């Protein structure tokens, strides 16, 4: 096993760097800060693949003029509790937070708000958006479709993105429950890490280009695909596939974006889809007012009880017992706020390359 | 392998029998027919565990006076797009359809409708409710919590029900996409079938009473538990666990029902929970107006394209390629409407016992 070398940066350094990179492309000041905030949230929460590790992709797409740095976001259709938003081909990191606000504003008036967004781009971590809902005492949902990487159960090719679902529930004394999960069995980042380390991957993560299960991470990259959550028919792979479709339809078909295998790539190096069936990619946000259902204080007391009850579950042998969803990310954030964010050297080198091209200092 | 003997009944016979059994307990005529319709839907769609196979459990609970045959369903709180419903301890088969109507009515007015229902009982198949939404050109969601059977990832005891999620999307020329999935790796019915046949079960379905993975179906029954979708940490078992929590909180904490391990049992033989933290079990229904987002005809044309695109996925070796969610159930329904519903002999014997006790003829 090869140990992975890292260099640690304070979150302020990374946030400042990202903000200035976005400003470099002419984003309005508030939008640049907003986009950097979404990336910083990923880096703080330990979701390393979705933080500044992605800045190079955004940088390249902005450099090529493939993303609009000054989008005018538009509501194209609405009812009291639903809306469709056109993201004007802006950064998802800018469009997403604005569309999420629309959903939350509607929820405060109508009890709930549901927004499908088309003509947008990758929005960072889904968890960011549901944390924002918590700040307003709402139950938030966030989903997005993304570039194809995942095969349907019984398929032999990439047809769906990793299509995440996030939802969060507040408590009173306990920290909130924050669920943020891709609908595939394992993250693509884990495949890349296994390759870097020269390790095999577990059965159930992916298939090779002929559609057979593989434990060689190179096979996934070379024309293979990730498997949906559940992995195979016996263990419920049709369920993960169904969830992937759910996210795709709500995010992209409802909003008039590209869906399934036609979802445009996130990075310049990725394959351009065979057809265009809409505009950009799609997100879906929801917000529910807790006191639209139950007294909010009573709900939170029950959630305290809920969380404590689940923490007290009898542990499986060799474990410390079940976690509460959101625990690992919150703990990572506590550590990283103090000690900084460790970046692997290839990511540091990418950021340095951006620094050289733009003249923006990295530290 | 032991072959399983069956006896086939027409759906009309089963529907008539269930209706008369419910009438026997004093349910109003429309409610009895409604409850029988939910069971018939499961039997037609091949979800054998949730059809008349459950009539004995309903029969016993009604006989013991543990379910209210004449519930007065009440909206206890509402906003334009949300409501909490008290099911007055009625059959879920009666309360569920009424609460689902409330969600759909709200959606037609406010764009969306979200209803959390407490003080209710098991509601049959989640798919039934989203099929009803399709009849009104709505995107429907249905969830319910249920008696504990599933361990959290890294747990060694039952803490959550199989907590299903259903959602459906209409198309124009193609049949709709109907997703209806429990949030555990495998259905409890499959454990029972393996026991009956003297077979082992795959790794990843469940644990024994000490929390270790097992391939012996008897272990699950004897104090073990089912595993969440994803099965283990490597393959995303934390995701299935998160989905189980999501369903539980939306259905039960929002509505003031019992949640997690305190969800009351579905059958008399099941263990009574240690505490009561609310009333009955909980459901959660949602409905979205398609034209709250996009022209409904355009949506359906895109869904035709979507379904055809996914049907054309390159197949994995040894398969005919991916299915569209809802295909197997719709095909079962076509066959069973014509040829009848095959029931295993133990179920037939249970129905005959009800027939003897009530004097209601079975055929």
A106 and A129 in one domain? yes
Cβ contact B307:A253 at 8 Å:
no
Closest to B186 measured CA to CA, from A239, A110, A150: A239
A271-306 confidence digits (pLDDT tens): 889 899 999 999 999 999 999 999 999 999 999 999
* DSSP count for chain B of H helices, then E strands: 11, 12
B74-79 and B6-9 strand pairing: unpaired
Query: Does residue A272 fall inside a structural domain?
Result: yes
B304 and B221 in one domain? no
Residue A130 has pLDDT above 70, yes or no: yes
**Which is more confidently placed, B140 or A268?**
B140
**Where do we find the tokens 């059958």?**
B267
Residue B110 has pLDDT above 90, yes or no: yes
Q: At what angle do helices A55-63 and A11-24 cross, to 10 degrees?
A: 10
CB atoms within 10 A of CB B113: 31
CB contact under 8 A, B80 and A110: yes
Two structure tokens written together for A107: 């929820």
A59 and A10 in one domain? yes
What gap in Å lies between CA A227 and CA A220, rounded to an integer?
Answer: 10
> What sign for the dihedral angle of Cα A34, A40, A44, A47?
positive
Which residues does B31 contact at the CB level (< 8 Å), separation at least 6? Answer: B22, B70, B90, B91, B94
CB contact under 8 A, A185 and B235: yes
What gap in Å lies between CA A254 and CA A271, rounded to an integer?
Answer: 24
B352 to chain A nearest CA, in Å? 34
pLDDT attached to residue B3? 66
A212 and A154 in one domain? no
Residue A189 has pLDDT above 90, yes or no: no
What gap in Å lies between CA B249 and CA A51, rounded to an integer?
Answer: 30
**Which is more confidently placed, B90 or A3?**
B90
**Out of A83, A157, A179, closest to residue B314 by CB:** A157
What gap in Å lies between CA A243 and CA B181, rounded to an integer?
Answer: 9
Strand partners, A150: A160, A226
Two structure tokens written together for B159: 């803490």
Query: Does residue B317 fall inside a structural domain?
Result: no
Burial tier of A203 (Cβ tally within 10 Å: 0-12, 13-18, 19+): middle
CATH of the domain at A48: 1.10.1530.10
CB contact under 8 A, A315 and B255: no
Q: At what angle do helices A55-63 and A345-358 cross, to 10 degrees?
A: 30
A253 and A148 in one domain? yes
pLDDT attached to residue B260? 98
B246 and B197 in one domain? no
A204-241 confidence digits (pLDDT tens): 999 999 999 999 999 999 999 999 999 999 999 999 99
* Total number of domains in chain B: 3
B328-350 confidence digits (pLDDT tens): 999 999 999 999 999 999 999 99
pLDDT attached to residue B2? 56
Size of interface A-B (CB pairs under 8 A): 296
| Half-sphere exposure (Cβ direction) of B40: Cα atoms closer than 13 Å | 19
Name the E strands within chain B: 6-9, 74-79, 82-86, 112-120, 138-144, 165-169, 177-181, 206-207, 213-214, 225-226, 281-289, 341-344
B271 and B160 in one domain? yes
A28-51 confidence digits (pLDDT tens): 999 999 999 999 999 999 999 899
**Where do we find the tokens 């305190």?**
B262
Q: Which residues of B touch A194 (CB under 8 A)?
A: none
B189 to chain A nearest CA, in Å? 13
> What sign for the dihedral angle of Cα A275, A279, A282, A287?
negative
**Out of B111, B184, B211, closest to residue A314 by CB:** B211
State what percent of residues in chain B have pLDDT above 90: 93
CATH of the domain at B166: 3.30.1370.60
* Average per-residue pLDDT for chain A: 96
Residue A55 has pLDDT above 70, yes or no: yes
Q: Which residues of A touch B184 (CB under 8 A)?
A: 236
Cβ contact A219:A81 at 8 Å:
no
The three state secondary structure string of B104-134 is: HHHHHHHCEEEEEEEEECCCCCHHHHHHHHH
What gap in Å lies between CA B151 and CA B211, rounded to an integer?
Answer: 9
CB contact under 8 A, A169 and B77: no
Burial tier of A339 (Cβ tally within 10 Å: 0-12, 13-18, 19+): exposed
B200 and B102 in one domain? no
What gap in Å lies between CA A40 and CA A47, rounded to an integer?
Answer: 10
pLDDT band at B1 (very low <50, low <70, confident <90, very high): very low
B86 and B31 in one domain? no
Range of the domain at A359: 1-70+330-363
What gap in Å lies between CA A58 and CA B347, rounded to an integer?
Answer: 60
This prediction has a pTM of: 0.98
Q: Which residues of A touch B292 (CB under 8 A)?
A: 77-79, 81-83, 114
Cβ contact B281:B121 at 8 Å:
yes
What gap in Å lies between CA B62 and CA B59, rounded to an integer?
Answer: 5
B266-306 confidence digits (pLDDT tens): 888 888 898 999 999 999 999 999 999 999 999 999 999 99
Query: Does residue A299 fall inside a structural domain?
Result: yes
Query: Does residue B6 fall inside a structural domain?
Result: yes
Cβ contact A134:A275 at 8 Å:
no
Two structure tokens written together for A23: 């400003």
Burial tier of A46 (Cβ tally within 10 Å: 0-12, 13-18, 19+): middle
B6-37 confidence digits (pLDDT tens): 999 999 999 999 999 999 999 999 999 999 99
B118 to chain A nearest CA, in Å? 11
Q: Which residues of B touch A179 (CB under 8 A)?
A: 242-243, 245-246
B257 and B195 in one domain? no
> Could you tell me the CA-to-CA distances from B7 to A260, B59, B345, B352 in Å, in that order?
43, 21, 7, 12
Q: Which residues of A touch B323 (CB under 8 A)?
A: 153-154, 238
Two structure tokens written together for A273: 């889809």
Per-position DSSP letters for B180-207, written without gaps between them: EE-SBSS-HHHHHHHHHHT----TTSEE
pLDDT attached to residue A240? 98
What gap in Å lies between CA B122 and CA B125, rounded to an integer?
Answer: 9
* Average per-residue pLDDT for chain B: 96
**Where do we find the tokens 């079990």?**
B281
Q: Which residues of B touch A240 (CB under 8 A)?
A: 229-230, 236
pLDDT attached to residue A270? 80
Query: Does residue A325 fall inside a structural domain?
Result: no
pLDDT band at A197 (very low <50, low <70, confident <90, very high): confident
CB contact under 8 A, B293 and A254: yes
Strand partners, A142: A166, A285
The three state secondary structure string of chain A is: CCCCCEEEECHHHHHHHHHHHHHHCCCCHHHHHHHHHHHHHHHHCCCHHHCHHHHHHHHHHHHCCCCECCCCCEEEEEECCEEEEECCCECHHHHHHHHHHHHHHHHHHHCEEEEEEEEECCCCCHHHHHHHHHHCCEEEEEEECCCCCECCCCECCCCECCCCEEEEECCCCCCCEEEEECCECCCHHHHHHHHHHCCCCCCCCEECCCCCEECCHHHHHCCCEECECCCCCCCCHHHHHHHHHHHHHHHHHCCCCCCHHHCCCCCCCCCCCCCCCCCCEEEEEEEEEHHHCCCHHHHHHHHHHHHHHHHCCCECCCCCCCCCCCHHHHHHHHHHHHHCEEEEHHHHHHHHHHHHHHCCCCC
Name the E strands within B250-301: 281-289
State what percent of residues in chain B have pLDDT above 70: 99
Query: Does residue B333 fall inside a structural domain?
Result: no
Closest to B13 measured CA to CA, from B267, B357, B355: B355
**Out of B250, B254, B313, closest to residue A155 by CB:** B313
Two structure tokens written together for B201: 């079960």
Two structure tokens written together for B300: 């359906």
Which residues does B151 contact at the CB level (< 8 Å), separation at least 6? Answer: A313, A316, B157, B158, B159, B160, B207, B211, B225, B226, B227, B228
Query: Does residue B174 fall inside a structural domain?
Result: yes
CATH of the domain at A206: 3.30.60.50
A149 and A92 in one domain? yes
A238 and A116 in one domain? yes
Cβ contact A282:A164 at 8 Å:
no
CB contact under 8 A, A315 and B151: no
Query: Does residue A177 fall inside a structural domain?
Result: yes
What gap in Å lies between CA B32 and CA B224, rounded to an integer?
Answer: 36
Q: With DSSP H G I counted as helix, E B as strand and the rest as coil, what are the percentages for chain B, rounded to 5?
A: 45, 20, 40
pLDDT band at A2 (very low <50, low <70, confident <90, very high): low
Which of residues B272, B293, B312 is at a domain's end? B312
Residue A142 has pLDDT above 60, yes or no: yes
Residue range B114-140: mean pLDDT, rounded: 98
């Amino acid at each position: 096993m090869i140990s992975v070398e890292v260099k640690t940066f304070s979150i302020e350094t990374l946030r400042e760097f990202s903000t200035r990179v976005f400003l470099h492309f002419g984003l309005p000041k508030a939008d640049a800060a907003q986009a950097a905030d979404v990336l910083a949230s990923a880096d703080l929460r330990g979701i390393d693949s979705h933080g500044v590790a992605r800045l190079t992709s955004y940088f390249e797409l902005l450099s090529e003029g493939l993303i609009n740095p000054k989008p005018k976001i538009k509501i194209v259709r609405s009812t009291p509790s639903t809306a469709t938003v056109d993201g004007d081909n802006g950064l998802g990191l800018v469009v997403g937070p604005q569309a999420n606000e629309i959903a939350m504003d509607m929820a405060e008036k109508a009890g709930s708000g549901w927004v499908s967004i088309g003509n947008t781009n990758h929005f960072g971590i889904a968890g960011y958006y549901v944390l924002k809902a918590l700040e307003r005492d709402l139950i938030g949902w966030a989903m997005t479709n993304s570039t194809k990487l995942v095969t349907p159960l019984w398929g032999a090719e990439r047809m769906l993105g990793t299509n995440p679902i996030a939802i969060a529930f507040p408590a009173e004394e306990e920290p909130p429950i924050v669920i943020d999960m891709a609908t595939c069995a394992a993250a693509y980042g884990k495949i890349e890490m296994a390759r870097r380390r020269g390790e095999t991957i577990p059965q159930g993560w992916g298939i090779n280009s002929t559609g057979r299960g593989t434990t060689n991470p190179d096979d996934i990259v070379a024309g293979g695909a990730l498997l949906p959550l559940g992995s195979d028919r016996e263990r419920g792979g049709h369920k993960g596939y169904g969830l992937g479709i759910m996210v795709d339809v709500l995010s992209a078909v409802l909003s008039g974006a590209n869906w399934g295998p036609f979802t445009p790539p996130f990075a310049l190096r990725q394959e351009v889809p065979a057809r265009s069936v809409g505009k950009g990619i799609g997100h879906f946000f929801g917000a529910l007012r807790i006191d639209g259902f139950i007294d909010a204080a009573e709900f939170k007391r029950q959630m305290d009880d809920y969380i404590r009850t689940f923490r007290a579950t009898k542990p499986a042998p060799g474990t410390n017992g079940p976690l509460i969803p959101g625990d690992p990310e919150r703990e990572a954030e506590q550590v990283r706020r103090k000690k900084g964010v460790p970046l692997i050297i290839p990511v540091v080198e990418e950021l340095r390359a951006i620094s050289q091209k733009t003249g923006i200092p990295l530290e």
